Amino acid sequence: MFIEPNNSGERRGSIEVICGSMFSGKTEELIRRLKRVKIANQKVEIFKPTIDVRYDEVKIVSHDATAIHSTPVKESKIILELAKDVEVVGIDEAQFFDAAIADVCDQLAFQGIRVIVAGLDMDYLGNPFGAMPALLAKADYVTKLHAICQQCGSMANYSYRKVAEGGQVLLGATDNYEPRCRKCYQDK
């Protein structure tokens, strides 16, 4: 999915969305793609929302401790200011950004930038999460990953919250959440 020049030599931008439930490997896949971009010597900028401080304040870190340096930003429009003269932009935890993140990604892609975004497609209630539906609609490529249900071992696409506290956003890992298949999620 590398950007290929068209006949005029201009780069063609694109939006790639990696989505799924918690523990499905979204961040791991994002990091894998971004490391390949670095191997290809492409200029890249990587961002995450300032709210995500679970494993590190600056790095994007997967649940299996794979990490890559990023720039934490409070608002998605800041990405436009910081992504100057790059070929690729990586964004993790897109569901935590404001609604403008989809338009920001669109603007970057129209500038010829390859945008790779990872995020939860559904919240713990099984509802679309944040700006992810808009990102999925604008995406050129979508990769939906699945976890393994902690109850029965089937393919899981729901993030089951094990604690009753908090609103839609409750940062956590296995302490607060577990992946579940549709049946086990419904059987709560």
Q: What is the CATH number of the domain that holds 66?
A: 3.40.50.300
The answer to whether position 8 is within a domain reads no
93 annotated active-site? yes
Q: Mean pLDDT for the chain?
A: 88
User: Which two structure tokens, joined as six digits, stand for 118?
Assistant: 């990872």
User: Considering 16, 29, 45, 93, which one is annotated as catalytic?
Assistant: 93
How confident is the model at residue 52, as a pLDDT? 72
Residue 112 has pLDDT above 90, yes or no: yes
d(CA 65, CA 67): 6
The answer to whether position 168 is within a domain reads no
Range with lowest mean pLDDT among 7-11, 34-38, 131-135: 7-11
Q: What is the mean pLDDT of residues 7-15?
A: 77
d(CA 25, CA 37): 18
Domain that holds residue 22: 14-146
Whether 47 contacts 82, CB under 8 Å: yes
- Which residue carries 């579940």 as its tokens? 180
Residue 3 pLDDT class (50, 70, 90 cuts): very low
d(CA 69, CA 67): 7
Domains contained in the chain, number: 1
The answer to whether position 183 is within a domain reads no
The answer to whether position 186 is within a domain reads no
Alpha helix (H) ranges present in the chain?
26-39, 77-82, 101-110, 132-138, 182-187
| Residue 150 to residues 126, 162, 169, Cα–Cα distance (Å) | 17, 12, 21
Whether 127 contacts 117, CB under 8 Å: no
